[in-house]
């Protein structure tokens, strides 16, 4: 079945540091890939997505590239801010209009001054 594996957290970085959160997946077919973010006290929000191989999703300075050859979708940001502190979830969605979303366990990011 489909599954998503994320790097363990928490990840603690100083402001302006480079961020990478690793995500790999197992899936049949050609899934879409997503990064969701959950800020403290808030619901899950879509951060970025990619729907086919070699696509790059980007938003708010975050980027992730859909790598079919390595089944990966690593999240990166060149310079993190304190406001980026949150839990980040990698997810994959099956193809079609009734997509089934499978989530990773989440990675908590703490950014300090």
Q: Where are the alpha helices (DSSP H) in 1-113?
A: none
Instruction: Collapse the DSSP code of 50 into the 3-class scheme (helix H, G, I; strand E, B; otherwise coil) and give the result.
Output: strand
Where residue 82 falls (left for φ over 0; alpha for ψ -120 to 50; beta otherwise) is: alpha
Residues forming the site for other proteins (CB under 8 A): 4, 32, 34, 36, 42-46, 49, 51, 89, 93, 95-106
Residue 112 beta carbon to other proteins: minimum distance, rounded to whole angstroms: 21
Instruction: Give whichever of 81 and 100 is closer to other proteins, judged by the CB atom.
Output: 100
Instruction: Give whichever of 46 and 82 is closer to other proteins, judged by the CB atom.
Output: 46
Instruction: Give whichever of 70 and 97 is closer to other proteins, judged by the CB atom.
Output: 97
């Amino acid at each position: 079945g489909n599954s998503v594996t994320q790097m363990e957290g928490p990840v603690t970085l100083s402001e302006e540091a480079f961020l990478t959160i690793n995500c790999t997946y197992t899936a049949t077919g050609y899934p879409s890939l997503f990064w969701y973010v959950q800020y403290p006290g808030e619901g899950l929000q879509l951060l970025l997505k990619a729907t086919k191989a070699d696509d790059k999703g980007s938003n708010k300075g975050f980027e992730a590239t859909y790598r079919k050859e390595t089944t990966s979708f690593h999240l990166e940001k060149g310079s993190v801010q304190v406001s980026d502190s949150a839990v980040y979830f990698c997810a994959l969605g099956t193809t079609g209009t009734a997509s089934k979303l499978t989530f990773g366990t989440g990675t908590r990011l703490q950014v300090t001054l």
